[in-house]
Amino acid sequence: MWSYERRLQYPVNISETNPKLAQVIMSQYGGPDGEIGASLRYLSQRFVMPNRKVVGVLNDIGTEELAHMEIVGAIVHQLTRNLTPEQILEGGFQNYYVDHTLGVWPMAAGGIPFSSTTFQSKGDPIADLVEDMAAEQKARVTYDNIIRLICDHDVCDPIKFLREREIVHFQRFGEALRIIQDELDSRNFYAFNLAYKPDLFK
Amino acid sequence: MDGSNREKLFACIQATSFVCDELRLFLDTHPTDRAALDYWEKVSMVRNEAVSEYTRCFGPIEAYRVINDNTWAWVEDPWPWEGWC
């Protein structure tokens, strides 16, 4: 069960709108390496994860990603708030605007709608945790790419915070993978799936 | 506190939490309804006391309210989707 707190994990206070930047940053809302996908990936993987500590990592990072989704949404909203029709055209925001006005909708920067096909819940601890580590690195690279395009400190500041969190999460997932490997046969990690026991070789 | 007290306390948290969830929705659109406001006062207080008592005796249920002795208690207990049987 979740309950809501009326606060952002990291504050967002942007004074200048920028629809071009909003279209790029939007990818971390509903894009292939975005926060919604991250949260759904970890929260979905929890159920069959065989180790309680590792479940804790998935649960707590999955929960934090929901807070990051809110931060990215706040950034996109503040970058597009009260845009005039002229600013929409000048900023190349008309294709988004015609379908969503100034609402926040989960999609990639290229316009591809959010999809759960961007992540897996494989039901195998090693497969899932290695994917989770890669996911944190991909999100970190996306934030790197975004930071190169930003001049405004008000926007850069929360983006840098989110980028740092990717690095911390990568570290925690690395530890989670090591915890799982300690429970496996050190001569062959892949001989069986800790989350699904039927014999592999008959 | 024994097992049956644990179950009673947990049932109290479940019940008062749902009453709060339902009241919150109602009050969002009826913010001056006196009866609902009074009910919220009463039930949210009972819930707070129940959560504090449960946390002290049996371990944490809220991520910000973890009380520890010498080890991190958050990941020790079964997760709710594991079921009781």
CATH of the domain at A37: 1.20.1260.10
Question: Looking at the 3D structure of chain B, how many domains does it have?
Answer: 1
In a domain, A197, yes or no: no
Using a CB–CB cutoff of 8 Å, tell me whether A47 touches chain B. Answer: yes
Residue B32, domain extent: 3-82
Q: What is the DSSP letter of B78?
A: P
Residue B3 is predicted with a pLDDT of 74
In a domain, A51, yes or no: yes
**ipTM of the modeled complex:** 0.90
Question: Looking at the 3D structure of chain A, how many domains does it have?
Answer: 1
In a domain, A172, yes or no: yes
Residue B85 pLDDT level (bands cut at 50, 70, 90): low
In a domain, A8, yes or no: no
Give the one of B17, B63, B81 whose C-beta lies nearest to A47's C-beta.
B81
Using a CB–CB cutoff of 8 Å, tell me whether B63 touches chain A. Answer: yes
Residue A131, domain extent: 19-182
For chain A, list residues with pLDDT below 70.
Answer: 202
> Rounded mean pLDDT of B29-34?
98
Size of interface A-B (CB pairs under 8 A): 18
In a domain, A73, yes or no: yes
Give the one of A1, A56, A63 whose C-beta lies nearest to B75's C-beta.
A56
φ, ψ at B53 (rounded to 5°): -65, -45
Residue the block writes with tokens 């920067």: A109
Residue B6 pLDDT level (bands cut at 50, 70, 90): very high
In a domain, A10, yes or no: no
Using a CB–CB cutoff of 8 Å, tell me whether A196 touches chain B. Answer: no
User: pLDDT digit string (tens) for A49-99?
Assistant: 999 999 999 999 999 999 999 999 999 999 999 999 999 999 999 999 999
- d(Cα A31, Cα A114) in Å, to the nearest integer? 6
In a domain, A2, yes or no: no
In DSSP notation, A114-174 reads: P-GGGS---S-HHHHHHHHHHHHHHHHHHHHHHHHH---HHHHHHHHHHHHHHHHHHHHHH
- d(Cα A135, Cα A167) in Å, to the nearest integer? 11
In a domain, A198, yes or no: no
CB A37 within 8 A of CB A10: no
Using a CB–CB cutoff of 8 Å, tell me whether B28 touches chain A. Answer: no
Q: Does residue B1 have a pLDDT over 60?
A: no
Buried b (16+ CB within 10 A) or exposed e, A75-91: bbebbbeebeeeebeeb
The share of chain B scoring above pLDDT 90, in percent, equals: 82
Using a CB–CB cutoff of 8 Å, tell me whether A1 touches chain B. Answer: yes
Residue the block writes with tokens 């007290």: B5
